[in-house]
Structure 1
């Protein structure tokens, strides 16, 4: 089925994550997870458990290639991400797209809670990290962020 000119599939490269206003260098994947806690409510006059909404939690996971490139100072390297974990630093997180037509931006603060480095023989070295949100994940349109 041919796509119409007004419809476009969003590619993974179209959405980036910024940590303290800088993207992670040579990122390969990012994922955002948002969970709504459901609490049980049971009283003597109900025949089953009712559910009601509780807290919202959110997290971000990222993967990237380990690259040494001193000419790029506008991105976090794998070493920078590890340093943020070791410093126990609360970081600003922004998920956005530089692509026209993708107007939603999500922002919040969180802690990078895990970092791992993979160095297989005969293959690329990679890193991954997990960030746990602290507080709200706030949606806005891109023009509200600027």
Structure 2
């Protein structure tokens, strides 16, 4: 759960105004430098968030978002996480994205996926910190297709 650190109240009603909300970040997500991710946001598997982006809404799988606030730049994208800086041309050809695209295309993957909302509900149903830790460990044993959101 994430929060605003300080609790805000309506002075007339004495009711709290800013409640905590979960942030979900899927598998194989690239969040570049100096990004801000606001509470209640989901970033689905395979997505890319450009540098200095303010993420204030959900980002679907295999989508590039950038800007303040975040805007969709391109759909149907993926990245390979290996460093290519020292590669020569033959290394690039041998390790082409053609060989890895099946591993990074979350939009077309045919598996069954857990929705962010269900994951959050399951976490909130845990009665102790240890139950939450056990649930998170259990979820971590599944393959990389846990969090996929389509446009």
Between Structure 1 and Structure 2, which shows a larger proportion of strand residues? 1
Q: Greater helix percent: which structure?
A: 2
Q: What is the TM-score of this pair, normalised by structure 1?
A: 0.20
Relative contact order, higher structure (CA 8 A, sep 6+): 1
Give the greater-gyration-radius structure (CA). Answer: 1
TM-score with structure 2 setting the length: 0.19
